[in-house]
Copies of this chain bind each other. A is one copy, B any other.
């Protein structure tokens, strides 16, 4: 009996062991997959990891600063406001940091001043009327301020400030302190918030700063390059396709236009934040960031056309190869020159100069377009009995090209 039990227990132990091992392996696999994903995020852009360290540093600095001060008096005291300021004001880009810092400071001071006035009125109005004045004013101001967030300008520039305004006003107006002690408290608090904002800005600007303006600049140039690659790759795919008789999957370059289509939101927010940045490097204080939005819109306008073109390239009904061959040279030339114009524009944006080579590239492109047009005009008479599907692609290419010319001329006007 005993041996059976021992064997049974050994068997059970082995099973449990096997189960534990499996669990560890599965968990290990998940953890390593997760670690790889995290590592990829950090490796794609090391500044993200640096940003994390910067936030930690700013918080540690503030906490050390308040340890060494005799004023330090626990959670309820002023240290809290410095920490809170650092946590909410610290943003990835310098522009975001300045935006939040300015909003926080301005909203705290203005709301504090108004609230002190109302507080004084309520204190003098007696115990009956006081609470009504306080709650009523909170209701009124909070409603108005919240509604003001729906105004587009306020939303874009002062959204965070409005939140802080409501918060500060409510806190001060509802508080039970006397006006004199409130004044001292307010002074201390404004000072603390100021120190918090100052520390944030120092850490943000001095250690590996990320400028929203530069990000926007780089994004614009990168998108232009991608668009150039997409135009060229699309047309090449179209003519290479039929060489071995079957559809190929779209190349990575040909999908590049999708980045351009989806970059509106990040462009808008970066242009909003870049406005707050002081001059840095080649960017002045009033650098025309609005222009980047216009260039971005022009590029998207062009990318819509590339999307339609790539739809044609990948459509199931294709023109026979011998028909395509008539226009292959012309189309490839136009696409290559379009790509060159966009490439030149991208490098002239990155270098922030107007270059003659851009003008030459545009002129070359226009010549190629005209040649293609005349080829096109002769084609129908040649191919009267054939399928008209060929003409589609060439003509769409023509549309894309004219859009590209529009884009490139706009870009020329924009680059300073």
Question: Smallest distance from the beta carbon of A260 to chain B beta carbons, Å?
Answer: 11
Interface locus among A170-178, A219-227, A235-243, A344-352: A170-178
Chain B: CB-nearest residue to A312: B399
* CB-based contact B56/A140 at 8 Å: yes
Tell me, yes or no, whether A75 is within 8 Å of chain B by CB.
yes
Q: In the complex, which of the residues B64, B172, B399 contacts A315, with contact meaning CB atoms closer than 8 Å? A: B399
Instruction: Please encode chain A, from 289 to 319, with 1 for each CB lying within 8 Å of some chain B CB and 0 for all others.
Output: 0000000000011001101100110010000
Interface locus among A2-10, A14-22, A372-380: A372-380
Q: Which residues of B contact A251 (CB under 8 A)?
A: none
- Say whether chain A's binding surface is mostly helix, strand, loop, or mixed: helix
In the bound complex, CA of A79 to CA of B163 (Å): 18
* CB-based contact A163/B392 at 8 Å: no
Tell me, yes or no, whether A385 is within 8 Å of chain B by CB.
yes
The contact size tier of chain A is 35 or more
Q: Which residues of B contact A38 (CB under 8 A)?
A: 151
Tell me, yes or no, whether A386 is within 8 Å of chain B by CB.
yes
* CB-based contact B388/A379 at 8 Å: yes
Tell me, yes or no, whether A199 is within 8 Å of chain B by CB.
no
Tell me, yes or no, whether A126 is within 8 Å of chain B by CB.
no
* CB-based contact A56/B384 at 8 Å: no
Q: In the complex, which of the residues B73, B300, B308, B376 contacts A176, with contact meaning CB atoms closer than 8 Å? A: B73
Question: Smallest distance from the beta carbon of A411 to chain B beta carbons, Å?
Answer: 19
Tell me, yes or no, whether A391 is within 8 Å of chain B by CB.
yes
